[in-house]
Amino acid sequence: MLLEITNLTVCYGKAMIINNVNLNVDQGELVSLVGPNGAGKSTLLRAISGLVQWEKKVQRGTPEGDISISGNVLFNGEYIENIEAHNIVKRGFIHCPERRRPFREMTVKENLYAGAFLEKDKDRVQTNLENTYQIFPRLKERKNQISGTLSGGEQQMLAIGRALMSQPKLLCIDEPSTGLAPIMREEVFNKIKEICDQGVTVLVVEQEVCSVFNMTTRNYVLSSGKIIAEGTGSQLLKNEVIRKTYLGL
């Protein structure tokens, strides 16, 4: 088991965003977490990658009250729920956030180098860069272009490419299809599948369930902070209640 989440609960003040969630990802899997807007999907990713703990220290609470988090996150045999986010990155757990967020005034190549900020071996950085270019040839074509001028799909490729520069053991991608045209969405999903086929374990948060179910090993459905179903894409799509109520199909 590469990732095992047990009894994870996250509260912002009195609001319980994640409610006693259990989830696991095996080495080599491509697993999705799907569900409606406001289900808590992004909060779950932020919690397991250390960002909620960072928020807790920096914000010292919210207008509604303090941030609290409980439960266990076991990654690659080590409990990481109390480890700082940058040290989680060092262990190979990489979070690619929603809405891409490139360094807009920097070039594509400079953004990719920023993803390798923890790697001191220059030869390894160069190897990682070439591997990233092989997966995303379009990034190589645009390596000297200012990132803020890229299309939405190209910026999503850049965000994933930047994450790959950190040599992830587990790559968590939050809503990669947001704002993309159908053709570009399909291309991005194909690249995610290619990354997994090359040996990177992937956990993807997504709303485009039909597209993501075509490539995943297993899927979890999250609603109101709770896991309410788990299974393959075909299993979930056969469940009429899940399909209509939670997946909008």
Any idea what the CATH number is for the domain that residue 185 is in?
Answer: 3.40.50.300
pLDDT band of residue 244 (cuts 50, 70, 90) is confident
Residue 245 has pLDDT above 80, yes or no: no
Q: Domain count of the chain?
A: 1
Q: Range of 221's domain?
A: 3-246
**Predicted confidence (pLDDT) per residue in 126-159, tens digit:** 999 999 999 999 999 999 999 999 999 999 999 9
Q: Which residues pair with 72 in a beta bridge?
A: 6
Average pLDDT (242-248) is: 73
Q: How does pLDDT run across 21-36, given as a tens digit for each residue?
A: 999 999 999 999 998 8
What is the rounded distance in angstroms from the CA atom of residue 42 to the CA atom of residue 206? 10
